[in-house]
Amino acid sequence: MRYVRTVIIPRDGGLHPVDEALADDPNIERDLLHNISLLDDGTAITLFQLSGDIDRAREIADEADEVLDFQLSESDDHITVYAHFVPTQDIIDLLSLFREYELILDMPLEYAADGALRAHIVGEEDVIREVIPKVPDGIGLNLEQISDYVPEEERLFSMLTERQQETLKAAIEVGYYQVPRQATHQDIADYLDRSDGTVGEHLRKIEAKMMAAIAP
């Protein structure tokens, strides 16, 4: 069994109607897609994570004609959205393709800055290579890396957003996590050309996620 790192690129900016609308709003940042599934009645459900203005996210979901039902919940550092919606034909074809060939999307999928989704597909390598040319025209799928599947290898790191991953790598690089500590928030900020306040916020979120994931 192989573990394939890919980039899924929705041509219209999103995988589903709410996703597409959120992509165009400057007050919303899409972080993680936790689930997207087809139902027997031809509709679909999704669960994803955002940062930003919850009132604006609610307004967008409420205005989308294809959304049949939705719920939003807010925590200290993110918004979780559940939506029941009418899927596009591209989404139906993509998810049906994975189901037909018995491939698994290893969730969550991470949104990149350009709206693409970093995804890991689990399955037999020859099957994955056979499926890639059959991906619907409205969705691009670029293969980045194939390796043996080790579930624990990247799971914690994949929980982080792209910005958080960059911040963590920089913090390690400059010695922030060495003992004794060799760097400050400002050193990381200078390395990344960001403000120290932004770096501090990312580190707090990173550490909260990591602790929550490993605590018994």
pLDDT value, residue 21: 81
Closest CA to 108 of 16, 8, 23: 8
Residue 186 banded pLDDT, cuts 50, 70, 90: very high
Assessment of whether the complete model's pTM goes beyond 0.85: no
Q: What is the mean pLDDT of residues 154-172?
A: 82
46: pLDDT strictly greater than 50: yes
Residue 148's identity, in one-letter code, is D
**Mean pLDDT score across all residues of the chain:** 86
Name every residue whose Cβ is closer than 8 Å to that of residue 169 and which is 6 or more positions away in sequence: none
153: pLDDT strictly greater than 60: no
